[in-house]
Amino acid sequence: MAHELEMVNGQANMVWADTPCWHGLGTQMDPKEGALAWMKAANLDWKVERRPMETTLPNGQRHVVQGKNNDDYGVLVRDHGTGKFAPEDVFGPIGPEWVPTQNHEVFEFMEKFCKAGKMKMETCGALKGGTELWALAKYNEFEFAKGDTAVGYILFHSAHIWGKSNQIRNTATRVVCNNTLTAALGEGKNNAFRMPHIRAFDAEVQQAAETAVVVAHGQNKRLQEKAQFLSKKKAKPEQVQEFIARVFQPKLIAERKATNDTTPIMDRFTPSSQNTWDAITFAPGAELQSAKGTWWGAYNGVTYHEDHMRFFHNDETNVIGSALIGAGARRKEQALEMALEYAEAA
């Protein structure tokens, strides 16, 4: 399934407060009900525990994680409180010092964080069979240009995967088209606050996380400045086509240079490139003065594709995870830097 939300008895493990996502799945909740109520509504009221590397399943089958013989290693298993688990509940190997974070700890932390930062829980859910949890909390609104507004969110991401940290990062959504601009912040390591699983959610982490709200406001200010700069720079069609190919087909650009190929680059567009080209003209918000014929519009063609169109041609299955924290987020970050390059040369 393209959205890659975890499903239980036909119900998506996702809840939302105001506006449902494009896939129409999940359960609506009142933010006032509290984080633990949200966790339960999203079918995330289960725990994870360390088991020996060799574990027996309820059907008698032995599950052995290959390649690890040290007794200090273990396997992480989802426990629904029944004492039984299925093969899909075996999340994978974990190291000797890795301390798993329980779902209730993540949600309790998010609730404290939201109260401290005067934010409202907007949506949360589970991806990849429950191994990854994510949530968005709304904290402000701001304007890129006249009639082109955005909502600022704090993104929480926690993974039941050895080697992955809990993360808190800033993201923004362009209201007119609901595009997420996570990667548009382009601040590298400063864009996310990471918490290794070997650390608990203590007061020190809480204080540091609250600082993220202040940092987020500064990042949004810089994003606003970049958006306004891009909206004032006109983009020629042939340059936009090259820009799209650089984002989605970098090998094609290299091939054309090596062979002195002068045929129209659109003749070799992949579905991703073609859909992005179409989105620049027809996506919601494309008609705004800030976007029409500008590098801001070209950049938002990429963000619209990554958030709303990629699942149509199914060349990347995890659309939500990709757009917020994965390959799609990185692609949007690269696209912003490329768009700024073209705009500066215009």
What is the predicted pLDDT for the residue at 267? 95
Q: What is the DSSP string of 165-212?
A: PEEEEEEEEETTTTEE-GGGG--GGGGEEEE-TTS---HHHHHHHHHH
**Domain assignment of residue 301, yes or no:** yes
Q: Model confidence at 142, in pLDDT bands (50, 70, 90)?
A: confident
Give the per-residue SS3 of 267-332. Answer: HHCCHHHHHHHHHHHHCCCCCCCCCCCEHHHHHHHHHHHHHHHHHHHCCCCCHHHHHHHCHHHHHH
Return the top range by mean pLDDT from 64-73, 163-172, 224-233, 317-326.
Answer: 224-233
In a domain, 299, yes or no: yes
Residue 275 within any structural domain of the chain: yes
Tally the domains of the chain.
1
pLDDT at site 302:
92
Residue 233 falls inside a structural domain: yes
CB 150 within 8 A of CB 173: yes
Is there a domain that residue 77 lies in?
no
Domain ranges, residue 322: 229-345
Radius of gyration of the chain (CA): 22
The pLDDT, as a whole number, for residue 345 is 93
Is the pLDDT confidence value at 34 over 70?
yes
Per-residue pLDDT tens digits for 238-279: 999 999 999 999 999 999 999 999 999 999 999 999 999 999
Q: Provide the 8-state DSSP code for 59.
A: T
How far apart, in whole angstroms, are the C-alpha atoms of residue 89 and residue 61?
Answer: 14
Q: What is the pLDDT of residues 41-60, one digit of tens each?
A: 888 889 998 887 766 555 55
Q: Are 147 and 284 in contact (CB under 8 A)?
A: no
Is residue 288 assigned to a domain?
Answer: yes
For residue range 85-127, what is the model confidence (pLDDT) as tens digits?
A: 677 788 888 887 788 889 998 888 888 878 777 788 888 888 8
Q: For residue 85, what pLDDT is reported?
A: 67
In a domain, 146, yes or no: no
Classify residue 284 as exposed, middle or buried by CB count within 10 Å of its CB (0-12, 13-18, 19+). Answer: middle
Range with the lowest mean pLDDT among 16-20, 60-64, 175-179, 230-234?
60-64
> pLDDT (tens digit, 9 = 90+) per residue, 175-221?
666 666 653 333 444 556 666 665 556 666 567 666 777 777 788 88
Quote the pTM value: 0.71
Domain contains 327: yes
Q: How many residues in total does the chain contain?
A: 346
